[in-house]
């Protein structure tokens, strides 16, 4: 009995040593993924895996195709990142091993994607051939192909987000429609098609509670908003004609709606073709104010506590970030990180913000309380920064 007990204890120790976070002698220790993320290196078909605790890059993963307009979502356990490339590539990256575990080219021209709330489905939004394709998150085998057919052919799809209940919501650029694909009953989606959204919807967002889907319109002033809790779901037009009667500037870069902010009881929205931020009441969805800013805003991102909004800008003013106080709607600080500031990503509790400065080949890290620079990390033409903590947030 003594020998059997000692043998059993030894086996248990070996199991704990090898499988629950303790490394073999001479090996790196196992680790969690909560402080990891990806930086897109847009011109070199690569990404950096970053460690936000160390404020450092820990690996580079290459061979990812065209990343000129790339985005990323994460598995529910935060171990795997799914990278959507402009060339239709869908790449699954193991953050712990630092390598691609599966890569497919699912379309000719893609514009982002989403992962279902249960983490089982990954959806890709496509320009060519249009429509949305949905894949099993473990194997990347296709589950569903949803052509965005309308009266004049197949539409480009944009603004793809996940919604609660194993649903995806997206909009049709050519058709001016928004569709909901409901996978709650299995692999064959139930489609809800909503018409009359507006001319040329160009991007969309969903609020963190999964209730409101908002889509921006490129072909006309304004936005359309959908209350996903109501039935039937119908679009409500807001901010119609906010630039009417005034000369609009040339649009150098379209704002990204997934970076638009909800701060307290107000949405903070970049105005298309204008050097302004628009403030919209969350309940009434009416405009309640504007803030003049340095240039045409691209991202207006709220610090997680909603106290400040950080804004970056399109060319030729893209060397600047402005910080806006959400109580006063006034600009309270301005930074000059360098040429081509493309993206900003807050740590989950908002104490730091990571900033990509493409033309300086740097990612910079700032303290969000006193705006001091904490670190610089070399990167090759960095653009999007995506942290694994996004796995726990609807619409990201």
CATH number at residue 367: 2.130.10.10
Whether 17 is in a domain gets the answer no
Long-range CB contacts (< 8 A, 24+ apart) of 186-193? 187/143, 187/144, 188/144, 189/134, 189/144, 189/146, 191/146, 192/233
Contact 358, 381 (CB under 8 A): yes
Cβ neighbours of 370 (radius 10 Å): 7
Q: How far is CA 396 from CA 17, 112, 144, 151, 372, in A?
A: 36, 11, 21, 31, 27
> Does 285 lie in the same domain as 206?
no
At 10, is the pLDDT very low, low, confident or very high (cuts 50, 70, 90)? very low
pTM confidence score: 0.89
Whether 46 is in a domain gets the answer no
Give the tens place of pLDDT for each residue, 24-83: 445 666 788 899 999 999 999 999 999 999 999 999 999 999 999 899 999 999 999 999
Q: Look up the CATH number of the domain holding residue 126.
A: 2.140.10.20
Whether 316 is in a domain gets the answer yes
Boundary of a domain, candidates 179, 209, 241: 241
Whether 202 is in a domain gets the answer yes
Q: What confidence score (pLDDT) does residue 1 get? A: 45
Contact 355, 337 (CB under 8 A): yes
> Does 139 lie in the same domain as 197?
yes
Give the tens place of pLDDT for each residue, 272-296: 778 999 999 988 889 999 999 999 9
Number of domains composing the chain: 2
Q: Which two tokens stand for residue 196?
A: 């009359």
Smallest Cα–Cα separation from 319: which of 345, 294, 286?
A: 294
Boundary of a domain, candidates 241, 266, 288: 241
Whether 248 is in a domain gets the answer no
> Does 67 lie in the same domain as 152?
yes
Cβ neighbours of 388 (radius 10 Å): 26
Phi, psi at 369, each rounded to 5°: -90, -45
> Does 368 lie in the same domain as 298?
yes
Q: What confidence score (pLDDT) does residue 19 get? A: 39
pLDDT surpassing 60 at residue 244: no
Q: What confidence score (pLDDT) does residue 282 get? A: 84
> Does 212 lie in the same domain as 154?
yes
User: How far apart are the C-alpha atoms of 138 and 394, rounded to whole Å?
Assistant: 20
> Does 107 lie in the same domain as 61?
yes
> Does 235 lie in the same domain as 267?
no
Domain hosting 157: range is: 57-241
User: How far apart are the C-alpha atoms of 118 and 145, rounded to whole Å?
Assistant: 19
Whether 136 is in a domain gets the answer yes
Whether 33 is in a domain gets the answer no
Cβ neighbours of 285 (radius 10 Å): 17
> Does 339 lie in the same domain as 260?
yes
> Does 262 lie in the same domain as 237?
no
Contact 55, 68 (CB under 8 A): no
Q: Which two tokens stand for residue 336?
A: 């000059």
Whether 6 is in a domain gets the answer no
Q: What confidence score (pLDDT) does residue 240 get? A: 79
């Amino acid at each position: 009995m003594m020998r059997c007990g000692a043998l059993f204890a030894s086996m248990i120790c070996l199991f704990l040593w090898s499988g629950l976070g303790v490394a073999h002698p001479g090996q790196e220790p196992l680790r969690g993924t909560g402080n990891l993320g990806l930086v897109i290196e847009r011109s070199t078909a690569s990404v950096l895996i970053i460690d936000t605790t160390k404020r450092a890059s820990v690996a580079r993963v290459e061979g990812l195709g065209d990343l000129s307009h790339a985005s990323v979502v994460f598995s529910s356990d935060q171990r795997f990142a799914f990278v959507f490339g402009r060339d239709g590539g869908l790449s699954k990256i193991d953050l712990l091993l630092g390598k691609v575990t599966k890569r497919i080219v699912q379309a000719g021209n893609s514009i982002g994607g989403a992962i279902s709330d249960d983490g089982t489905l990954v959806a890709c939004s496509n320009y060519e051939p249009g429509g949305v394709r949905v894949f099993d998150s473990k194997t990347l085998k296709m589950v569903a192909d949803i052509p965005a057919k309308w009266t004049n052919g197949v539409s480009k799809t944009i603004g793809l987000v996940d919604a609660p209940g194993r649903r995806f919501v997206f909009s049709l650029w050519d058709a001016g429609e928004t569709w909901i694909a409901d996978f709650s009953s299995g692999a064959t989606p139930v489609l809800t098609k909503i018409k009359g959204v507006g001319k040329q919807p160009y991007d969309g967002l969903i609020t963190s509670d999964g209730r409101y889907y908002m889509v921006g319109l490129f072909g006309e002033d304004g936005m359309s908003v959908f209350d996903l809790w109501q039935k039937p779901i119908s679009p409500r037009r807001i901010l119609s004609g906010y630039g009417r009667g005034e000369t609009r500037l040339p649009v150098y870069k379209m704002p990204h709606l997934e970076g638009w902010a909800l701060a307290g009881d107000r949405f903070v929205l970049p105005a298309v073709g204008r050097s302004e931020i628009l403030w919209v009441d969350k309940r009434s969805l009416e405009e309640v104010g504007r803030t003049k800013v340095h240039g045409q805003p691209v991202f207006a991102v709220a610090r997680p506590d909603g106290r400040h909004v950080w804004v970056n800008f399109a060319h030729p003013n893209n060397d600047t970030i402005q910080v806006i106080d959400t109580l006063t709607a006034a600009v309270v600080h301005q930074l000059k990180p360098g040429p081509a500031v493309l993206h900003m990503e807050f740590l989950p509790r908002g104490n730091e913000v990571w900033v990509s400065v493409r033309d300086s080949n740097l990612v910079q890290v700032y303290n969000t309380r006193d705006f001091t620079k904490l670190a610089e990390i070399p990167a090759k033409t960095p653009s999007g920064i995506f942290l694994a903590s996004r796995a726990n947030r609807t619409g990201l």
